[in-house]
A and B are shown apart, each in its own frame.
Chain A
Amino acid sequence: MRRLRRFLKSFFLVDILRGLAVTLRLYFSRKVTVEYPEKVQVPAPRFRGLPRLYRDEKGEPLCIACKLCQRACGTNCFDIEGKRKEGAKFMRPEKFDWKLDRCTFCGFCVEVCPTSAIRFSPEFRLTGVRKDGLLFHRDEMYLQGDDLQDHLCGGCRRVP
C-alpha cells in the first residue's frame, strides 16, 4: 500500500508540483531589492565606512598627532608627522597621509584614538578611477560627501 502511494505520488509529479507552488507563491511575495541610486539604504550607526578626521564644535581639529593610530594599524596606512607650534597647547599633524588602498577597515585606529579625531563615516562609495585618489593628505582627510567623491574619482561621478 505504501509502495503504491509512493508510486502514485511519483507518477503524478507531486514533488515537482509542490516546488512549483513554492516558486509561484514567492512570485507574488515582497521583493528585497533596493533600487540603489534612487533609494539609498542608510548604514547602521556603527557602520565602518571610510575613516575620516573630524573637528570639534569650534572647528578646531581634534587630531593631536599622537601617532597611536599609526602604531595600531596592521597594514601601515598612516604616515603622520606632528609639530607643536609656539605657544600652542597640543601638537598638530603637519603631515597626515592615509592610504585607502591599504586599509582593511578593521577599526583599530578608531578604537585607539584618544580624542576621537579619526572616526568611521557612513560613506560607502569608495570607487575611483585614479590611483592618486586613494591617497589622502591631511586636509583631504576632512572631506565629506560630494567633495570626498570628487577627490576619489576626480569628478567623474554623476551627481543624481
Chain B
Amino acid sequence: MTPFVADVLIPLGKIAAVILYPMVMVVVMIWLERRVVALMQGRLGPNRVGFQGVLQPVADAVKLFFKEDIIPRQADKLLFNISPVLVMFSSLLAFCFVPLGEPVRIGTTTLTLWIADSPVGLLIVLGLSSISVFGVIFGGWASNSKYPLMGALRSVIQVLSYEIPTGLAVLTVVFLARSMDLVEIVRRQEASGVWYGFLMPVSFVVFWISAVAETNRAPFDLPEAESELVAGYHTEYSGMKFAYFYMAEYAHMVLVSSLVVILFFGGWLPPFQGVKALAFLHAVPGFIWYLVKIMFFLYLYVWIRATLPRYRFDSLIRLVWKWLIPLALANFLVVALVRFLR
C-alpha cells in the first residue's frame, strides 16, 4: 500500500465514516421512532417518502433547511448560535472513540475500525456526552424566554444527578475488565465467555435507566416536555438550528446504545459463543451483530416512549437520589467484594 493511501485516503475515509455513520443512524432512528410509535398506537406512521417512508426524516431535514432562521430580538446572539453547534459537535466527536469492530485485514494491511484508540476511551466518551448539556443550558439561557429557561434548568439538574449512577454502573464494568479501553472491554467479555450484562444485570439496568434520563428521553423527557414546556430548551429555535438539536438528541441516543452494547452485551461478538451447535452464528460479520444489538436498544427507547407517562420533576430527582444511587452503590460494593474474593 502506498503511503498516500495509508496516510491520507484511509484517515479521510474514516473521518467521513464517523460523520456519515451517526447521520445515517439518526435518519434510521427518526424513521424507526415515528413508525414504531405509530404502529403501537394503531396507526401507520409515515410511509410515503421512499420505501415505507424511510426517507421521511430526510424530507423533514430538507424542509427545515429552507425554513426561516429566527433569532429572537432579545436573545444573546453568540450563545444562541453556538449552542446547537456545541450539542451536535460533542455528540459527533464522541463517535471518534467508539469502535465499530475488531481490526479488519485487507491484504497485507490491517484497517482499524475506530479513529482514536485511547486507553481511557470510556472516560472520554462519557465526558463528551456530558458536554452536550452545556449546549442545552446555553440554548435555554440565550433564548431569553421563560419556557426555554425552565427547560434548561431542568436539564442541568437532571443530567448532573444522573451522571452519578451512570458512573457507578460503568465503574463495575471497568472493575471486571480492568481497562477503560472500549475495545479491550469487548475482548475481555470474549475471553470470559459471559457478557457483563448477564453477569451484572443490576449495573445494566441502572446504566440503562440513567442513560435514558441523560438523553432526555421519555419517561424522563422533562426538559422538552411538550405538554408542559411547549418544546423546552429549543422552543425559540427554528430552521436548521432546531434540526441540529433534534439530530443531536438522536445521535446521542445512538451513542448511548452503542455504549450499552459495548459495555454490557459484547459489542460485535455473536451470541452463544460457547455453544458448538450455534457456531454458524460466527459466520455473520461482527459489524452486523453490533448493528442488530444497537437497533434493539433503539427500539427499546421507542417502546418505552410509547408506553410510559412522564415523570414529574421532584419524583425524577427522588428516583435517582433515593433509589438509583443507593442501588448502584450497593451493586458496586457487591461487585468489588466478589472481585476481591476471587
Contacts and interface: CB of A to CB of B under 8 A. Distances in A.
Interface of A: 16, 19-20, 22-24, 26-27, 29-33, 35
Interface of B: 36, 39-44, 303-304, 306-308
B42 A29 contact: yes
19 contacts: A16-B308, A19-B308, A20-B303, A22-B307, A23-B306, A23-B307, A24-B40, A26-B42, A27-B39, A27-B40, A29-B42, A30-B42, A31-B42, A31-B43, A32-B42, A32-B43, A33-B43, A33-B44, A35-B44
B43 A23 contact: no
A158 B318 CA distance: 56
Identify whether the interface residues of A are mostly helix, strand, loop, or mixed. helix
A38 B44 CA distance: 14
Contacts of A30: 42
Contacts of A31: 39, 42-44
A78 B1 CA distance: 86
Contacts of A23: 40, 303, 306-307
Nearest to A17: B307
A33 B303 CA distance: 20
A19 B307 contact: yes
Given A16-B308, A19-B308, A24 B42 contact: no
Given A24-B303, A26-B41, A31-B44, 5 more contacts: A27-B39, A29-B42, A31-B42, A33-B43, A33-B44
Q: Which 3 A-B pairs have the closest CB atoms?
A: A33-B44, A19-B307, A23-B40
Contact of A20 (B36, B41, B307): B307
A111 to B, nearest CB: 37
Contacts of B42: 26, 29-33
A61 B306 CA distance: 56
Q: Which of B36, B303, B307 has the most CB of A within 10 A?
A: B307
Given A16-B308, A19-B307, A20-B307, A26 B44 contact: no
A103 to B, nearest CB: 31
Q: Which of A23, A29, A33 has the most CB of B within 10 A?
A: A23
B304 A20 contact: yes
Nearest to A27: B40
A13 B303 CA distance: 15
A15 to B, nearest CB: 10
A22 B39 CA distance: 13
Nearest to B39: A27
Contacts of B41: 26
B330 to A, nearest CB: 13
Contact of A26 (B40, B304, B308): B40
